[in-house]
Structure 1
Amino acid sequence: MKYLGFILFTVMTNAAAQLMLKHGMMSLGSISFEGANPVLKLLQIVFSPWVFLGLCTFVISMASHLYVLSKVELSFAYPFLSLAYVAVAVFAYFVFHEDLNAWRIAGIAFICIGTVLIAQGGSGHAEASTPEQSVSTSELTR
């Protein structure tokens, strides 16, 4: 649990990036590549302020996730990223007035329950096994 703050930072920056990308794409309106140079259109999308800020935030999120992966087990850290779905759904409800019906709320509840169960399942620290803890194949056949 020592790195839980970093894990939650990763989750929140990931969710924030998704919300910024959505806002940026909404502000651009309908996108059409007909009659336009696709490379120029893509650059226009990438360098629009909210999309660019979202992409930069996503890079920060990934850098934080890489740090977390260097400190804890993948099987512990990765399921926490599902909390980004929870944050995005809740914030999208309030910011973009997206639907948050009973099925989505039930799914969010299951995600939260699953994440709590995974967090209780161990410390999550990535520890290299020492030679005395290792069991060789020849020892197993004895």
Structure 2
Amino acid sequence: MGYLFILGTVLTTVYGQIAIKWGVSQRGGLPGGAWDNAMFLFGLVFDPWIFSGLLAAFVGALFWLAALTRFQLSFAYPFMSLSFVLVLVLSALVLHEPLNIHKIAGVALIVAGIVVSSRGLG
């Protein structure tokens, strides 16, 4: 069950990042000026995609709390890096962001780090 909590954390985190980026992309850039920027950012919270992404972050935090009741932090935390892999793939597929060899190599190094750091823990 503990691994399902970690998976839930990763998946809700990834969804949240993709949904927030999607919502922000639909709204454009900051308008400029401190007050206008603050009002713009506050208004973003009410965008359905952004709101769902923030809600996913909250649900992910609940999953994370549950995961930490089952595992040592030093074991569970490296799995959070899997979100880098999923965000890279989904940002290319869903958001049509460029995917290049440097990004792929960087994520491969992250995965290698997960494998090395999780050996013998648990």
Show CA shifts across 1:74-132 (max 9, x none).
0011111111111000100111111211111111112222223334423x2xxxxxxxx
Question: Are the counterparts in 2 of residues 83 and 112 from structure 1 also a CA contact under 8 Å?
Answer: yes
Name the structure 2 match of 1:77: 76
Q: Percent identity?
A: 38
Structure 1: tracts of 5 or more residues without a match: 125-142
Q: Which moved more, 1:30-39 or 1:7-16?
A: 30-39
Aligned positions, number: 122
Question: Are the counterparts in 1 of residues 14 and 86 from structure 2 also a CA contact under 8 Å?
Answer: yes
Pairs within 5 Å for 1:59-70: 59-70=58-69
Pairs within 5 Å for 1:1-142: 3-34=2-33, 39-122=38-121, 124=122
Task: Look at both structures and tell me which one has the larger radius of gyration over its CA atoms.
Answer: 1
Could you state the TM-score of these two structures normalised by the residue count of structure 1? 0.77
Flag the structure with higher helix content.
2
Could you state the TM-score of these two structures normalised by the residue count of structure 2? 0.88
Amino acid in structure 1 at the alignment position of 2:98: D
Structure 2: tracts of 5 or more residues without a match: none
